[in-house]
Structure 1
Amino acid sequence: MHLSRNLSIILLIASNIVVDQISKFIVRANVTPYQESEILGSYLTLNNVENTGAFLGMGSDLNPTIKIIFLWILPVLVLSYLIYYIYKNKQMDNYSFIALCCIAGGGIANVFDRIAYGSVTDFLHIDLGGIFRTGIFNLADLSVTTGMFILLFGSFMNRKKQNE
């Protein structure tokens, strides 16, 4: 079965949003705020933290008007353009297509939280004994990050094809 391109866009973006929102709903309902629970020892922990800023809490202390501009309005405009770009660019390779849909879905999920709740629920933390350590993040952040890695990988693969 071959899905239409437009349906594929909707399904990819929507699935990113739905999985993120379900995970946040479960965390808000079942995890005590600011309490750490081990999932895989201390390597992967679960926390319930409300982030009123952007990436790693940056911008949490901004003036409310500036916060609305930079954490609501600007992201909505950028995400709107990104979705327009995905729909209009019919020559996009599969890597870019999937990556940009993941980025859009994750971005929409976090903007939705900021608008609906005034903050974004973050809950996952990775600490591989000092070798690799993250801030506390959520599945929307993971979707955006995965999309960025897919874009980089796709760019590498496309450049490799062109050189052959």
Structure 2
Amino acid sequence: MRIVSLTALVVIALDQAFKFVVVHLMGLAQRHAIDVLPPYLNFRMAWNEGVNFGLLANSAQLMRWVLIAVALGISAWVWVWIRREGHSRISRFSAGLLIGGAVGNVIDRLVYGAVADFLNMSCCGYRNPFSFNLADVAIFAGALGLVLFAGQKTP
């Protein structure tokens, strides 16, 4: 379980540190946009009160607490499930990514009332209107890793 715990803690720390630097120290909350390597990487501030791409953002206060409960419930379920013997290291690492990302976004909802999304990537004439954050990347990578590697057993 060390792999799960350490991975989750590193993801939470990196996610929250990156958000603090970009949103507060670089002033993205006030500036709303910073071009980093246009069009490939830009910072575009988006306070996400819903789930992905702002879905379910109605009744923001109620949804905030529902989404916190769902994220914590899923994280707890993954934690209990991955504790069973026989899971590979990559499965445990993936579980840590998913849990760390989910908790990172829960911290945002508790502190800001919404998730701080700001990474925006576009390419090849396509302008992506959506923003995301490091926690979202960790959740996606962790879920994908669990789908791909959960059936593998420890040698």
Q: Which portions of structure 1, spanning 4 or more consecutive aligned residues, are displaced by more than 6 angstroms?
A: none
Alpha-carbon distance between aligned partners in 1 of 2:127 and 2:144, rounded to the nearest angstrom: 17
**Larger-Rg structure:** 1
Instruction: Kindly indicate whether the alpha-carbon contact (under 8 Å) linking 1:31 and 1:48 is maintained by their aligned counterparts in 2.
Output: no
Match of 2:16 among 9, 17, 21: 21
Instruction: Kindly indicate whether the alpha-carbon contact (under 8 Å) linking 1:46 and 1:124 is maintained by their aligned counterparts in 2.
Output: yes
Tell me how far 1:64 sits from its aligned partner: 3.1
TM-score by length of 1: 0.79
Match of 1:116 among 104, 111, 117: 111
Instruction: Kindly indicate whether the alpha-carbon contact (under 8 Å) linking 2:34 and 2:44 is maintained by their aligned counterparts in 1.
Output: yes
Superposition map of 1:13-162 within 5 A: 13-29=8-24, 30-33=26-29, 35-62=32-59, 64-69=61-66, 71-86=67-82, 88-130=83-125, 133=128, 135-154=130-149
Tell me how far 1:136 sits from its aligned partner: 0.2
Distance 1:150 1:66, change over 3 A: closer
Task: Provide the aligned C-alpha RMSD in A.
Answer: 2.3
Distance 1:116 1:123, change over 3 A: same
Alpha-carbon distance between aligned partners in 1 of 2:63 and 2:18, rounded to the nearest angstrom: 29
Aligned pairs, number? 150
The one-character-per-residue Cα deviations of 1:44-87 (angstroms, maximum 9, x if unpaired) are 11122211111111111136335422x1222212211211222x
Distance 1:46 1:79, change over 3 A: same
Unaligned runs of 5+ in 1: 1-5, 159-164
TM-score by length of 2: 0.84
Taking every aligned residue pair, what percent have the same amino acid on both sides? 24
Alpha-carbon distance between aligned partners in 1 of 2:131 and 2:70, rounded to the nearest angstrom: 23
Distance 1:111 1:38, change over 3 A: same
Whichever residue aligns with residue 99 of structure 1, its letter is S
